[in-house]
Amino acid sequence: MPHPDRERLTLVALGEQPVVDALSAHLDQCAQCRSEVTAMRDTVALAREAGPAPLEAPPDHVWSSIAAELALEADPPPVPVRPVRPSRRRRGLVVGALAAAAALVAAVAIAVAGAFTGDPPATEQIASASLSAVAAGPPGATGKVSVVEAGGERRIEVSATMPPAPEQGYYEVWLLDERTDSMIAIGALGENGRGTFTMPAGLDMTGYSVVDVSAERYDGDPAHASSVLRGNLSS
């Protein structure tokens, strides 16, 4: 048997038993695949020990002490609103990364042009959308979305005016690619109908031109439930 593909080895490392005898037999014989599985198994064990909780940020006074001890010239506020000093190269990379997102290109070009005409703004809006209620949604519900870049991070800011979420539920924001029908869950809106979400580094937004807000229930099912608001992103 040739070496099994890495996806199958991953499943073995996760503890799913090889159902094909040939795979077991191969692992018995092949030291290379065995060591691959061992390494992945150790990585999984490590992440399981770490647990799913995100790491806690140090309290604000730690930064104040650092700034004081180093006598920093201008002590930036706790939330990074000042972008890391923009250089031509960095701007170029940002443009390169976003060029693929055809719908967003024009806005970036304008933002970049703006960056050289004076002090760089703290945040640059890349795209925005107006949300309105879908046919089955609550009548009159509206919302606004803007995609901004600040401090090297891309954020999606959402504010919506609509009835509060039902008792056992919440509103979730999604990005939708209509051509492939694929969706990315972005995060849950607060009770005030607002939310700011940092986009994961490396997320390719190409094609994700629709913002969708759905009503979800606390039922443990992470799939998209029923749409409430929708809108198209444009620059």
Partner 1 sequence: MTSDDEVRLAEGFVTGDEAALRAAYDRWGRLVFALGLRSLPDRVDAEDITQQTFVTAWRGRHTFDPHRGTLPAWLLGIARRQVADRLRVLQRDARLQRVLERTEDPSAPEPSADRVLDRIVAADELTHLVPQQRRVIELAFYDDLTHAQIAAVTGLPLGTVKSHLRRGIERLRTRREVEGAASRP
Biggest alpha carbon–alpha carbon distance for the chain: 67
Question: Is residue 58 at the binding interface for partner 1, with CB under 8 A as the rule?
Answer: yes
Out of 39, 100, 102, 106, which residue is the one contacting partner 1 (CB under 8 A)?
A: 39
Interaction between residue 7 and partner 1 (CB under 8 A): yes
Nearest to 206 by CA among 103, 77, 121: 103
- The reply on whether position 55 binds partner 1 by CB under 8 A is yes
CB atoms under 10 Å from CB of 172, counted, come to 21
Name which of 52 and 139 has its Cβ closer to partner 1: 52
Check: CB of residue 162 under 8 Å from CB of residue 193.
Answer: yes
Out of 38, 43, 161, 234, name the contact with partner 1 by CB under 8 A.
43
CA nearest to 152, candidates 80, 77, 84, 79: 84
110-125 core/surface letters (b: 16 or more CB in 10 A; e: else): ebbeebeeeebeebbb
Asked whether position 184 contacts partner 1 by CB under 8 A, the answer is yes
Residues that bind partner 1 (CB under 8 A): 6-7, 10-11, 13-16, 39-40, 43-44, 46-59, 61-63, 65-66, 69-70, 72-74, 76, 80, 82-85, 87, 89-90, 93, 97, 151-153, 184-187, 200-203, 221-224
